Amino acid sequence: MAMDVGRWRGRSRIRPRARRFRPDLGAAEGRGGDDRRRSDLDDGPKTPPVTGEDVNAFISQNRARLPQGDEADLKVKVADYLNRLQVSQRTEAFVGSLRAQTPVQVFLKEPEPVRLSVDGKVGFSRGPADAPVTIVEFSDFQCPYCRNVVKTLKELTTKYSDRVRWVFRDYPIPGLHPDAPLVHEAARCAGDQGKFWLYHDLAFERAPAATPANLREFAAEVGLEAAAFSQCLDSHKHRAAVAADMEAGGKLGITGTPTFFINGALFVGNQPPAEFQRVIERELGRTAAAPPPPTPPSVLR
């Protein structure tokens, strides 16, 4: 399940006007238009109910950060929080899809987003190390939203081949996907042999298959040396590294996947490609407008 936080967006400037007939609305603009827009929203994002498993998983993952008290009351509050979070994320994605379909003129300037300190040098990466835009993704190999966003991320790294760097970090959620941590360990074992991304792609493609036998089959398919892979997997060589990524993600406030930090700015969920591009273009414009770094004194002599 993906989560979201409320993000400021520019709003269209709306001018009062008289009601007039619009053939495409089939009624006088006003009530008829409102009815149509209401119908569009009714047909928009649908949110499945939050389950008891969702609530228990969230409490398990965030126990240290939650207030002490009555467990039943805590579950009610967590369920309400997760439901609002889910509605917000799906609404955000729906609004993003509408923006992509409809020309909107925005008169207000979007303020600078809050940026967190996220080390873009930690994790497996695609793209140049000096790219002006770094997308750090915290992901779960068993998360369907994470699986679906892979296609978008590949398209973005192709489109912005010399300007975007994609960094993968581990954030399996055992409460929802008990087998996920071992898949992350297996991918790191593949990384030891220089084939992390091949394994990454295959693991998402074959999800939710994640038994030890499945993971060894994936290793064979991408051409890994079998004995070295098995030794790495069976010894849980990378368990601590996966746990360290999970701890880092928790400190950043992550409660669901996929969660991204684009040049440190939070970006949540499997959003439409146009939304990713909007943020990337914003970051490219920001870096292009930044003044050049000062010349070192040794060069000035």
**What percentage of the chain exceeds 90 in pLDDT?**
55
| pLDDT tens-digit readout, 245-277 | 999 999 999 989 999 999 999 999 999 999 999
Cβ atoms of 19 and 29 closer than 8 Å: yes
* Lowest-confidence pick of 87-96, 146-155, 189-198, 286-295: 286-295
* Lowest-confidence pick of 75-84, 138-147, 277-286: 75-84
* 249-253: long-range contacts, CB 8 A cutoff, minimum separation 24: 249/138, 249/169, 249/171, 250/61, 250/62, 250/65, 252/116, 252/118, 252/138
* Element spanning 126, H or E: strand 124-126
Question: 14: pLDDT confidence band, cut at 50, 70 and 90?
Answer: very low
**Residue 165 CB partners (closer than 8 Å, separation 6+):** 120, 125, 126, 127, 128, 129, 131, 133, 134, 135
Q: What is the mean pLDDT of residues 200-223?
A: 96
CB-CB neighbours of 47 under 10 Å: 14
| pLDDT tens-digit readout, 34-84 | 444 444 445 555 667 889 888 888 887 777 667 778 888 888 988 888 888
What are the distances in angstroms from CA 79 to CA 56, 64, 66, 73?
A: 9, 18, 13, 10
Q: What is the total residue count of the chain?
A: 301
**What percentage of the chain exceeds 70 in pLDDT?**
79
**Mind listing the domains of the chain with CATH numbers?**
21-101 (no CATH), 124-288 (3.40.30.10)
The DSSP bridge partners found for residue 168 are 124, 137
| 3-state secondary structure at position 164 | strand
DSSP string, 45-89: ---PPPPHHHHHHHHHHTGGGSPPS-HHHHHHHHHHHHHHHHHHH
Predicted pLDDT of residue 195: 98
CA–CA gap between residue 203 and residue 187 (Å, rounded): 8
Q: What is the mean pLDDT of residues 151-163?
A: 96
CA–CA gap between residue 193 and residue 82 (Å, rounded): 39
